[in-house]
A and B are shown apart, each in its own frame.
Chain A
Amino acid sequence: MKNKTLHADQLCFKHHDKRSNLIWNNFKFSVSLGETVSIIGSSGIGKTTLLRVLSGLHKFESGNIYIDSSENTVTQPKSPIFIVFQDYNLTLLPWLTVKENIKLADFKSTVQNKITILETLEILFGNNANNTKILEMYPDQLSGGQKQRIQIARALFSNSDFIFFDEPDTGVDIKTKLSLRKTFIDLAKNQNKGIVLITHDLDNAYAISDKLYIIHESNQNSTNRIFNLVEVVKDNSMQFDNFRKMVIDYL
């Protein structure tokens, strides 16, 4: 199995809103293949922006984001990073069938012996006779959980090494949430993907993550708000209650 690591060193990026400058300062981040990492933080603290910066979609002020060596910097659309966006209704094109939607990821992949569309569905839905039917359906005919999986299927079909998820558990029922949890573990451990999740669900983050990052506000004055990133390596001896208390203290 190949091994790659996505690194972000001394990362700094800014955003200006009406009231103050928002500064994300000196972030250090890493995720390897086969690893699941969660990013936690309050609403509006810049989790999605961080995800966009890490994937190469958003400009940053200073620092470096690279895969394995510092020369191999992350740029989109060439880098093997795929984002599964929160709003699947925007990213799945309603005028294309599921098959055509997944097939759009064909241009992203540079691998010779690539996975087939049907195989991606088998990974996500199991070896199910309905899979071929799903391929011919349109996104509007699918449930929220199924649409989320079709986005993941697209990521798998693109053969991207790292898959970023922006709040995948928002607006899905508990059964789907648990099933997605299994999917994330499977993607990391069996498909050898590097998984990065943005989530508000501490339970989910605790259950599946090898490592967690918490974005918190470290300093605030009249003109600047400064945010830092803290890494928490999961210690199996730590109880969930203690973990939750620690995260809440940070937030």
Chain B
Amino acid sequence: MKNNVVNKLFYSIAVYASISMLYYFFTLYVYANEKDTNLNLVDSINEFFYISNLNGHHTNILKLTFSTLYYFFVNFTLASLLGVFIGTALGLNKYTGYISNYYINFFRVMPSIIYIVLFKYQFKFTDNYIYFVGVFASIWPIIINTKSGVEKVNLVQREAIKILNLPFKRRLLSFVLPEAFPNIWDGMKIGLGISFLITITCEYLYPDKLGMGAMLKNYEDNISPLVSMIIILWIGFMGIILNFIFELFETNLLWLRKQFSTYEGD
């Protein structure tokens, strides 16, 4: 299994590196005739690692990356916890499950980026705004998948568990959630992508905060194509790493299902 993981990481980085090369030459080609544009790669990399001007700050890439990742993790964790809780509650009862379908589908079909505009009138651009929009946009696939996972538990399994006379909490933890877990996981994977996208987009649109999205906006405005390119590739690299961490867990879904199951509670 270790070899598989290493191979996967190696191939991901190799593909990523080749795309980066193509992107680099593409940028050089597009901006070749632009005057007053710095196309020096070494200067751009230096600028990228030590940002000289972002909202009047001198800062470095790690600070900005951690800032974005912090927002992302809060968004994603809240969306996952709330989504699994709501999805399970809806899926356990066939009537609530049926009725909620219409509401969930309404929000689900909305392009998630709409929520950024939708809530900007309710909130000023604050941390709460990023959290609210991030959670609201990424929670729907988690709710839907959790609900369908809980609903799909078949009759024989339900009866087998009923006969065992398990208390509700144990039935939920030992059986329902682990059984629905592959579905929940798929929902979380979609939620992960949306949460990352929304965090970066929020920063990009309202660059008062420090973050990778804000940095991209800043260098785009200053017409620094190579630095912008490096930032985009860096954001892509973060995405690959997040996806890779998720896949690492995915290789041992049985272990994750067991964690639900053997959780004894308070």
Contact = CB atoms under 8 A, between A and B. Distances in A.
Nearest to B160: A91
A13 interface: no
Interface string B156-167: 110110111111
Instruction: Bin the interface of chain A by size.
Output: 20 to 34
B163 A57 contact: yes
Given A95-B254, A104-B174, A90 B157 contact: yes
Q: Which of A55, A83, A85, A93 has the most CB of B within 10 A?
A: A93
A66 interface: no
Interface residues of B, number: 21
Interface string A22-64: 0000000000000000000000000000001001010000000
B258 interface: yes
B194 to A, nearest CB: 28
A108 interface: yes
A96 B261 contact: yes
B217 interface: no
B165 A87 contact: no
A90 B262 contact: no
B157 A91 contact: yes
B178 A95 contact: yes
B162 A76 contact: yes
A95 B257 contact: yes
B159 A57 contact: yes
A81 B164 CA distance: 10
Nearest to B262: A100
Interface of A: 52, 55, 57, 76-78, 81-83, 85, 87, 90-91, 93-96, 100, 104-105, 107-108, 138, 154, 158
Interface of B: 154, 156-157, 159-160, 162-167, 170, 174-175, 178-179, 254, 257-258, 261-262
